[in-house]
Each structure stands twice: as structure tokens, then as C-alpha cells.
A = this chain, B = another copy of it.
Amino acid sequence: MPKIVDHDQYRKELLTKCFDLFAAKGYGAVTMRQIAKELGVSTGTLYHYFPSKQALFWQLYDELNERDTASMNAVLNSTDTLEERITAIFDYIAQNEDYFFKQFLITGDFYQQQDREEILANETLKHNYELNRDFVTKALETDDPAVVNFAMCLATGIMVVRLFEGNVVEYAEQAQLLNKMLTLYLQGSALSDVNVT
């Protein structure tokens, strides 16, 4: 018997440790030697677990998505009103902003690995988006896809702006705004629905 190691589990542990490194420096700027050093293994070992730098990167990306799916489900518990749910979501993003920054940056790296066409055809990417969409749909309790997109784009935008510009926008403030506007808008829709009827 060889050294007792759960190959797959150890592989995931290594991936976890890579996260920060890629997020901080970007795919291109991180060398396999650096990764190995950071993980406390030799380059040989690194290649024992990941056939190439690209492969390591893709596996990391998959791993991230898997996590997100798991952690998002708890957010909407114990929320009753629309306002509470909006607040909960923006709070969740705010709390995990650092993680989202990193994930976004890594996705950005991901992007530069291949042609745009391939990216847009990529199943993992699509799947991740569907996930988020369903989540927001459930939160807003609306079946108007435009509204769902509206909220998602706003949230994404805030995050991106904060990433690039710093604290020029605040989550809580924007959450309130969204809440008010949405309430007014949905009331309006409801009214016009009533009127129509």
C-alpha cells in the first residue's frame, strides 16, 4: 500500500488553497512553482494531482460553483416580506464580498483562456447563471424575467463597481432603493392588472 491519501479529497484541499492565489494575482501571473510553494508541495506533486495549469484552473472554477450552490440556499430562510428578502440578498453579497470579488476575478481570467464563442457555449458558465437566476426569481416572487434581470444586473453592477472603484456605492443603500422602486413598480403593475381586468 502506498502512503495513505484520499487522492480526490486531497486534490480538493489543494484547490481550496489555490483560490486566493489566483484571485490575488490572476491566472497568468501565478506560476506553477509559486502554487506548489504556497501549497507546500513540490511541482512534481502538483502535477501528480493536476495534469496541467489549465486543468487545475478549470477544476478550481468547478469547485467554486459547487460551493456557491450550497451556500446560497440558506439566505432566504426566515424572510417574509419582499423588503426582507432584498435586504437579505444584498446583505449576503456584502458579507461575502471578498469571495465574490475573487470569484469574479477568477472568472475574468477564465475568460481570457479562450475565445468568446467557446465561453458563451460553456455549460458550466450557463449552469451557474441559471442557478443565480432561479435564486433571484424565488426571492423576488415575480415571474417577470425582465425584473429578475434588472435586480441581477444591479447587484452584479454594484459588486463590479466596488471592485474597480472602491466604496463609492453601498449595498444597503442600493438595496433600499431597489426595494422602494420595486414596490412602487409592482404595485403599479398590480393596479394596472386590476384595471385591465
Which residue numbers of A lie inside 8 Å of B, CB to CB? 2, 25-29, 44, 105, 107-109, 111-112, 119-120, 125-126, 129, 146-147, 149-150, 152-158, 160-161, 164-166, 168-169, 173-174, 177-178, 180-182, 184-185, 188
Supplied contacts A120-B166, A184-B185, 4 more A-B pairs, CB within 8 Å: A28-B29, A147-B177, A149-B169, A150-B174
Which of chain B's residues have a CB closer than 8 A to the CB of A28? Answer: 26-29, 112
Which of chain B's residues have a CB closer than 8 A to the CB of A105? Answer: 108, 111-112
Residue of B126, B164, B168, B182 touching A181 (CB-CB under 8 A): B182
Given A111-B105, A146-B177, A184-B184, are A160 and B156 also a contact pair (CB < 8 Å)? yes
Residue of B109, B126, B153, B164 touching A158 (CB-CB under 8 A): B153
